[in-house]
Amino acid sequence: MKFSSLLEVCNSAREGGYAVPAINVVDENSLRAVVDAAQECKSAVILQLSVKTVRQWGLQQITSAAENASAGVSVPVVLHLDHCPDIDLCKEVIDAGWSSVLMDVSALPDEQVEPVLSEICSYAHERGATVEIEVENILGVEDGVGTDEVLRSCTVDELVDIAKRTGADLLAPQLGTAHGLYKSDPVLQPERAGEFAARTDIPIVLHGGTGLSDADFATFIEAGVSKINISTDLKVAYIEAAQRFVTENFDPSCGSIGIDSWKSKEPLALIQAQHDAVRDMAKRYMRIFQSEGRA
Ligand code: 13P
């Protein structure tokens, strides 16, 4: 397999008392920036893609981009499909050589949850891949998947039992976080993460990382979380870098919106600025999650 195992990097993180950043990249530029951050920080990294991103670029093209970016890199790079309610797409990315998938069964009727999870876990394991599961829904909408309504709630024991019965490798439970920017302070549940960690060795995943404080992350990591998802912050870094570039390079005194109004007429400089902003954002999380220097 060209990519590292999600389960192995998360098990190492749990043993080492740190978490691995799982960063939702949107294209080849951001994907390279995150891999560059991992290499510079000597950190494992999880390149995560939404279903929407895979559909926009096409599976083959984005897989090749990830392979090229991680070729020759000395740190573990995991390629992971985020929140996927479509079992056929999960199988397709596993066939394409991805490390892992998040099978999202939160919107399925109860009687379909375990059969679908068992099917994808067997399929993945036969091919050396790993499955993260979402049974309760993480609140918020991410790239068109999800909702602000609670669809299902389980007890800690129920979720651990479902994971054990179906062969799931990682658990993404509701821990008080949500996708996107917080409109009010979330009621975080690190103690719930601790209850999972006390009952099972299955790595615990924290979704909705954007907007939490360094102290919040430290508390969750201490409680046993070993994969932390960041998406919105990448989008902010990517778009703000473009906005800064425009502000710094547009010369309104030229009075037109043609190419002569730009101090820099070099698209590569804009692409580089976005790369650097995303790389620096990723490096910051590697430091906060204490994965820096561990790979
Ligand atoms: P944020 O968009 O809040 O960073 O959440 C990311 C996430 O959980 C992706 O699955």
CATH class of 6-231+278-288: alpha beta
- pLDDT value at residue 266: 84
pTM, rounded to two decimals: 0.95
Please report, for the chain, the start and end positions of each structural domain, with discontinuous segments joined by +: 6-231+278-288
- pLDDT value at residue 145: 72
Q: What's the 175 CA to ligand 1 centre distance in angstroms?
A: 13
- Listed residue (153, 248, 159, 241) closest to 196, CA to CA: 159
**From CA 134, how far away is CA 120, in angstroms rounded?**
13
* Residues marked as catalytic: 82
- pLDDT value at residue 213: 97
Please, what are the averages of pLDDT over each run of 10 residues along the chain (295 residues)? 93 97 98 98 98 98 97 97 97 98 96 98 98 90 76 93 98 93 90 97 97 98 98 98 90 71 83 98 98 97
Contact predicate 170/6, CB 8 Å: yes
- pLDDT value at residue 174: 95
- pLDDT value at residue 149: 80
- pLDDT value at residue 257: 67
Counting ligand 1 atoms within 8 A of each CB, the residue from 46, 47, 179, 281 with the most, and so the one to mutate, is 179
First vs last C-alpha separation in the chain: 18
Contact predicate 30/234, CB 8 Å: yes
**From CA 159, how far away is CA 217, in angstroms rounded?**
23
Indicate if ligand 1 lies below 6 Å from the C-beta of 207: yes
- For residue range 61-87, what is the model confidence (pLDDT) as tens digits? 999 999 999 999 999 999 999 999 999
- For residue range 157-172, what is the model confidence (pLDDT) as tens digits? 999 999 999 999 999 9
Phi/psi at 31 (5° precision): -65, -45
3-state secondary structure of 170: strand
**From CA 53, how far away is CA 81, in angstroms rounded?**
10
- pLDDT value at residue 1: 59
Give the contacts of 68 (CB within 8 A, at least 6 positions apart). none
Atom index in ligand 1 nearest the CA of residue 211 equals 3
Indicate if ligand 1 lies below 6 Å from the C-beta of 228: no
Residue 99 amino acid letter: S
